[in-house]
Amino acid sequence: MACIWAKSMVNLRFLSVFFLFLLCLPTGGGQKKKENLLSEKVDQMMEWSSRRSVIRMNGDKFRRYVKAPPRNYSVIVMFTALQPQRQCSVCRQANEEYQVLANSWRYSSAFSNKLFFTVVDYDEGADVFQQLNMNSAPTFMHFPAKGKPKRADTFDLQRIGFASEQLAKWIADRTDVQIRVFRPPNYSGTIALALLVSLVGGLLYLRRNNLEFIYNKTGWAMAALCVVFAMTSGQMWNHIRGPPYAHKNPQNGQVSYIHGSSQAQFVAESHIILLLNAAITMGMVLLNEAATSKGDVGKRRIICLVGLGLVVFFFSFLLSIFRSKYHGYPYSFLIK
């Protein structure tokens, strides 16, 4: 009996070792297959990236190289609609900034296979838009090397704008990859400044015998007001953040010129604020003129009424815009 029991134990141990060996076989083969697939995907992405900084993708490429595992690299995807029939001017502007950022990464000394820039156009990958329940463009998303994208992996374009520097900062927060933005040289500003200096110099030369206009207080006041209107309307913020001119709702086609958040604005919004401030200032100037001038009383009364009307109406309009951006602000005047 002891001999039979011993043989049984030997057989059980042999079977256990044999089954463990069988279990290890597919695991090792699957791991090797996974590594080969990953290497193939990285090599293909590097090849595409060597041809152009931004890799164009359709639905099949997106699902294979961006969505499907295995993947040890991060992918930045711009979902856009660049075809002329889409009439998306914001998409073209955002694409220019995106190309600047991708080129800065592609030709930097830190370039590696850990980050790739891609683009999915609606007309080439409408199924991707449907899969992600995406109904607006442009949209920037980060697909991390491991796991699924989180809420912070979608770039807040409406609040931050699409300037290359802002995109680079967002990418650094999501991937720890630092990209120094290099913009191609733009000589338009230098040429414009040279023309302005030449124009002013020519004007001073022609009027060299009569330079009284330099001491004209009204002219200097108008120039100062123009600078003040430009700065208070947010032109500098537009230059830094690069927001879109306006926003068109893709569902109903309605165009919004005023941003609904107090943390952002559209370019059109700054133009509207500039005109409102100018109209209110004009009203104040007319009120001052009516009070200080010594002309006909009837004429002064008309000027006073016009100035008062400008101040009251346009200040009410300005206050209503303020209420629409700062939700919960309790005060209004004439226009709600």
User: Is pLDDT at 191 greater than 70 in this prediction?
Assistant: yes
Q: Which two tokens stand for residue 59?
A: 């639905």
Q: What is the pLDDT of residues 280-312, one digit of tens each?
A: 999 998 898 888 888 788 888 888 999 999 999
Per-residue model confidence (pLDDT) at position 22: 45
8 Å CB contact between 115 and 73: yes
pLDDT band (50, 70, 90) for residue 3: very low
DSSP for 4-60, written as a single string: HHHHHHHHHHHHHHHHHHHHHHHHHHHHHHHHHHHHHHHHHHHHHHHH-SEEE--HH
Q: Provide the residue range defining the domain that includes 125.
A: 33-175
User: 203 lies in a domain?
Assistant: no
User: Is pLDDT at 203 greater than 60 in this prediction?
Assistant: yes
User: 123 lies in a domain?
Assistant: yes
Give the closest residue to 120 by CA, choosing from 107, 106, 134. Answer: 134
Per-residue model confidence (pLDDT) at position 148: 87
Domain count, the chain: 2
266 and 214, same structural domain?
yes
136 and 263, same structural domain?
no
8 Å CB contact between 44 and 35: no
CB atoms within 10 A of CB 163: 19
Cα separation, 310 vs 308, whole angstroms:
5
pLDDT band (50, 70, 90) for residue 29: low
Give this prediction's pTM: 0.56
CATH number at residue 165: 3.40.30.10
Angle between helices 267-292 and 297-325 (to 10 degrees): 150
User: 43 lies in a domain?
Assistant: yes
Higher pLDDT, 32 or 281: 281
Q: What is the pLDDT of residues 236-288, one digit of tens each?
A: 878 777 777 887 776 777 888 888 777 778 888 889 999 999 999 999 988 98
Q: What is the pLDDT of residues 76-132, one digit of tens each?
A: 999 999 888 887 888 888 899 999 999 999 998 889 999 999 999 998 888 999 988
**Section 306-323 average pLDDT:** 90
Give CA 16 to chain center in angstroms: 61
User: Is pLDDT at 30 greater than 70 in this prediction?
Assistant: no
User: Is pLDDT at 159 greater than 90 in this prediction?
Assistant: no
Cα separation, 159 vs 216, whole angstroms:
42
